[in-house]
Structure 1
Amino acid sequence: MDSRRLLRTTAVALASAGLILSGCSGGSDAAAPRGTAQGRSAPSAAPEALKEFYAQKLKWRDCGVEGFQCATLRAPLDYAKPDGEEIELAVSRVRATGPGKRIGSLLVNPGGPGGSAVGYLQAYAGIGYPAPVRARYDMVAVDPRGVARSEPVECLTGPQMDAYTQVDQTPDDAAETDALSAAFKDFAAGCAKRSGKVLPHVSTVETARDMDVLRAVLGDERLSYVGASYGTFLGATYAELFPDRVGRLVLDGAMDPSLPALDLNRDQTAGFETAFRAFAADCVGRPDCPLGTGSVPAAGEALKKFFRAVDAEPLPTGESRKLGESLATTGVIAAMYDEGAWPQLREALAQAKGGRGAGLLALADSYYEREPDGEYANLMAANAAVNCLDLPAAYRGPADAAKAVPSFEKASPVFGRGLAWAALNCTYWPSPATGRPHRITAEGAAPILVVGTTRDPATPYKWAESLAAQLSSGTLLTYEGDGHTAYGRGSDCVDTAINTYLLEGTPPRDGKRCS
């Protein structure tokens, strides 16, 4: 795995191959502006140097996907040099369906970093969000800079990515450690060679500033937004930069912006362990569980034994790639995002027990967004590019990673060793980090709804608790359950609370719990 801060919704993690990624281009009509919220002052005006961007008109055209329109948004490549080069960002929308008075635009982001918001909108949010929400909002998405159709970061070719994803991430000796370091260095060098212009300018802060330009261009005085997973960090960053422009913000599957990279990676490792234990508890109660019918710890030992076995002798998959430990681990982790994938994981593990690795390879490919033709979406490239700009690297070199292994193994006996070494990727990044860990309070912002799932694998529940406490207007909604994120995943309690907030502006009471 490339980076452990690969945070995205279940829809992106497990159904990425089905995303509809249509070309977006320019026609005309911007959304009508909303009135100023009662009892609140109007947001501050755009800076003089950026007025050209804030005053632009989007030219909307049919996307080629029924019901959706697309356009291109211009933004400065470098906000410190607004008169310099520009970057073009892909935008898509589906208009409010009615009945009821239109509230405005609702921007959505599925996480990643690196997930295509346009693809998510067209494949899921624009048709799958609750009908009352779609009735009263124009559903809108913009692919963040460096992602998908917004001048994507590119690093490796398809065959190079195949090799990269198979590198041993649990090195047993100096030669394997050197090989892993070389893989990360080659990945970083490929990004610098193929995307050197955009690479220093794909931070979350810059993407949040792009969102404010889009808000203004759409005609909304304040931003309404649903961000999932990494999208919560993006939303919180927006609130920090533009507190007076916050409308109704839902941050689902929250990140904690106050943590350094090492702590984020280690906490997420513990989250995957929690999710695995839930899977194992369900599995061992079944007579056909491929990890045995004993205890949860015994199931964990069985999985570790399997990982060691495929590290020593990879399994055939029916194609040229074999299933080694790295791809097998990725396949298991992919299924941790959603309990709905547990049957598929049980079947894949049973197949592997019988000597065939195709099932786990398919899960790993869904995680990496690898297409059947061997090409990859730019998810992994964008993920590293954003993460490595947002925070200083977890380690200074391999020696630091080796020292961290015991603490990661304590966090997760099953996944800890591999995920400790995966955090080495930003060590060799060619663009220096521009962000630092810090608390986000967003003083003066309207109420912000933070949602956390108690057994979330990718964004541990304590992160949601922390973010809600940091935000001066944060309200915490808890889903007691499994899987990554909560909205639209089967809890009427969660969905009703979020829908009420989006439609009426009234958040649930702080601390409300749902199951």
Structure 2
Amino acid sequence: MNPSKSPYRKSRRRLIALTTASALVAGLTAVVATATQADATQSTYSLQKVQWSACVWYRPDLGGVVPECATVTVPRDWRTPGQGEDLSIAISRTKATDAAKRKGIVFTNPGGPSGSGITLSWMLATAQPSLAAQYDVIGMDPRGVGQSTQLVCQVDAAAASAANHDSRDLSAPAIAARHTLLKAIADGCATNPLTPYINTWQTTHDMDLIRAVLGERRLNYVGYSYGSWLGAKYAALFPSRAGKLVLDSNTGWMGDLADAWERMPMAFQRRWERQFVPWANRSDFFAKDVGTTPAQVNATYEQVRTAFIKYAGRPTAGDTVDGIIRGSLYTDDGFVGIGYTLGQLKVCLVDNQDWSPEAINACALAYLIRVLEYLEEHQGVEAATQLKARVHSAGTLLTQPEKLTAPSPEGLLPVLAAAQNATGPTVPLPGVYYAVRCGDGGNWHSTAWWDQLARRDGPRYPLAAYAIPQEVCPYWSLPAQKLPNPDPRRLGPLVSVQSEFDPATSYELTNDNLRRYPARLLAVDDSGIHGLYGVRGQGCVDDVVNAYFLNNVVPPARTVCTATPLFAETQVYPQPGPVDRLSRPRPSRTDHIPANVRQAADQLIR
């Protein structure tokens, strides 16, 4: 008898087949049900209607293109949409002024991480009317920031108070107190249940949802500083939806986010030594107070730093001077603020022995009047008005020394400033700056590595090499979210805009990117401006980028623009740097940007 023809065998095979089929059907049903549920959950976000209304921050006297604002709902975690409490994302829009020629949207980000970008759409649209004619310009407060759902970390107030040391103090007690505070910041952020969901990966998904609810197939983009990282990672995660990308003042977006902070001390010092110091020496106003040689300017900086610590009665007052200088190096207009800060402190503290309130107030007022008269004489009333904000903020150092500000996010100044007003056991601290940097992963080294960096580089790069190593990320205990790099095979041309002496995102980071990605480089020789396109009046840069956005003119592999003259100067003074041998530079020009736009952009793009 042939066993294969046995009735028993046939019945058994039928049973197995039926059982297997039933199991497959049940499994497929479960998979389909799960997929349908996930799709339905996501569609509740993508099908929401955006309700535009007037922006609370905009006033008619600001002028320019009138923006409108809205709120978009996003899931707390894009891995499990629908679970957990939803977040609100504040966005803004300036509608294309020439509807017949409208091309789509340009999304924007000012940097940070932690920059509030909701006003940037108005700034860019007002400064670049040709762009605003053909594109809706979109601004956003990223998750955790500003008018969006905020991330606040509660930091131990005692730890903040105990870390009241000058950053240059590398004694064992000072370092120990500093580390206690750094750990307290990391621990304070870790206790907030929102912190794990504040990172670049989540924000890119928010951006893509906003693209979808606005009904756009492509997301065109302009991002400055950290915004270059955000834009590059959006392109890596959503390559089919990425349109024209302009990344300005670049992080190492093909490498490690931590690299930008490691290179900051050198970059800030280079901008100071190669551009500010020679400018101050040439200045017919500031040189007589600040110095006519590089050695004199550096000596003035050390003198006023020491004097201000004594005058304010706080060791961290020296860090405030450093922070004001660093924050002012981001733009050329900031040179006036540095000159004013150093000059006023030199005249009223170093050269003046009477530190009574009456004498200090009289000296500060007299110096302020001199500077304002100088500004109006050289630049006219509008430019003087634009620069008054820098001058007035620096003036409060003498008239209100107890109000130590946090002019730049590096180091511990922000939490130390907040601790001065603490009324309870903890200090509320905006947490996005830490959550994104640490949560994006990267090689943030050990605390000992950063301490050694301060010892090694502090004497060479005193403006930043003592403050930058005060790093929270080595104490970060939450999981990091690794991010992919963009793939040029799946993307259109990407334009990388970079100044030669950028103090915050060094030119070397752009070189690192270009070795790994064939971006179209748009470099500016002998410039140190951080954030070049659109809002600085750099005519050559604006021409190239606008031609790309408006006329699809892809820049060549390498384009070099000349810098524009520094404040109160009529020519550019070349300095040796990494751009020198690239190619023959194109001539540039200084275009008019409304004073209020320039001033707002100076404070925002970081």
The normalised TM-score by structure 1 is 0.79
Match of 2:466 in 1: 418
Per-residue deviation at 1:269?
1.6
SS in 2 for 1:333: helix
- 8 Å Cα contact 2:92/2:140 also seen in 1: yes
Q: CA RMSD in A?
A: 3.2
Distance in 1, matches of 2:443 and 2:308, equals 30
More helix by share: 2
Per-residue deviation at 1:151?
1.1
User: Residues 392 and 308 (structure 1 numbering): CA distance in 2 closer, same or farther, change over 3 Å?
Assistant: farther
User: Residues 497 and 485 (structure 1 numbering): CA distance in 2 closer, same or farther, change over 3 Å?
Assistant: same
Map 1:172-187 → 2, pairs under 5 A:
172-187=170-185
Match of 2:370 in 1: none
Match of 1:144 in 2: 142
Per-residue deviation at 1:393?
5.8
Match of 1:478 in 2: 523
Match of 1:511 in 2: 558
Match of 1:400 in 2: 449
Match of 1:15 in 2: none
Match of 1:294 in 2: 293
Match of 2:78 in 1: 79
- 8 Å Cα contact 2:110/2:223 also seen in 1: yes
- 8 Å Cα contact 2:255/2:513 also seen in 1: no
Question: 2:498 matched to 1:452?
Answer: yes
Per-residue deviation at 1:301?
4.9
- 8 Å Cα contact 1:300/1:414 also seen in 2: no
Match of 1:351 in 2: 344
Question: 2:271 matched to 1:271?
Answer: no
Gaps of 5+ in 2: 1-37, 61-65, 350-359, 361-393, 423-427, 563-606
Map 1:101-140 → 2, pairs under 5 A:
101-122=101-122, 124-128=123-127, 130-140=128-138
Within the candidate set 185, 204, 209, 1:208 is matched to: 204
Gaps of 5+ in 1: 1-46
Question: 2:254 matched to 1:282?
Answer: no
SS in 2 for 1:243: coil
User: Residues 417 and 457 (structure 1 numbering): CA distance in 2 closer, same or farther, change over 3 Å?
Assistant: closer
Per-residue deviation at 1:428?
2.2
SS in 1 for 2:73: strand
Map 1:365-384 → 2, pairs under 5 A:
365-367=406-408, 381-384=431-434
Distance in 2, matches of 1:83 and 1:164, equals 43
Per-residue Cα deviation, 1:477-508 (whole angstroms, up to 9, x for no partner)? 11121221211322211101111111122221
What code does the residue aligned with 1:187 have?
I
- 8 Å Cα contact 1:256/1:467 also seen in 2: yes
Per-residue deviation at 1:365?
4.5
Within the candidate set 42, 50, 55, 1:58 is matched to: 50
User: Residues 169 and 323 (structure 1 numbering): CA distance in 2 closer, same or farther, change over 3 Å?
Assistant: closer
- 8 Å Cα contact 1:243/1:443 also seen in 2: no
Per-residue deviation at 1:304?
4.1
SS in 2 for 1:443: helix
- 8 Å Cα contact 1:62/1:70 also seen in 2: yes
User: Residues 272 and 380 (structure 1 numbering): CA distance in 2 closer, same or farther, change over 3 Å?
Assistant: farther
Per-residue deviation at 1:167?
4.8
User: Residues 149 and 379 (structure 1 numbering): CA distance in 2 closer, same or farther, change over 3 Å?
Assistant: farther
- 8 Å Cα contact 1:408/1:416 also seen in 2: no
The worse-fitting range, judged by mean Cα deviation, of 100-109 and 234-243 is: 100-109
SS in 2 for 1:267: helix
What code does the residue aligned with 1:152 have?
Q
Within the candidate set 225, 250, 253, 2:249 is matched to: 253
The normalised TM-score by structure 2 is 0.68
Identity %, equivalent residues: 27
- 8 Å Cα contact 2:153/2:430 also seen in 1: no
Per-residue Cα deviation, 1:444-474 (whole angstroms, up to 9, x for no partner)? 11111111111111111222233344335x2
Count, aligned residues: 452
Distance in 2, matches of 1:328 and 1:92, equals 35
Per-residue Cα deviation, 1:67-119 (whole angstroms, up to 9, x for no partner)? 32222212221122123122221111121112641111111111111111113
Distance in 1, matches of 2:164 and 2:283, equals 32
Per-residue Cα deviation, 1:174-217 (whole angstroms, up to 9, x for no partner)? 11111211222233333344xx1210111111111111111111
The worse-fitting range, judged by mean Cα deviation, of 69-78 and 160-169 is: 160-169
Distance in 1, matches of 2:328 and 2:250, equals 20
Distance in 2, matches of 1:144 and 1:203, equals 10
User: Residues 92 and 203 (structure 1 numbering): CA distance in 2 closer, same or farther, change over 3 Å?
Assistant: same
Per-residue deviation at 1:273?
1.1
User: Residues 107 and 151 (structure 1 numbering): CA distance in 2 closer, same or farther, change over 3 Å?
Assistant: same
Per-residue deviation at 1:160?
9.3
Distance in 1, matches of 2:531 and 2:171, equals 38
Larger radius of gyration: 2
Per-residue deviation at 1:234?
0.5
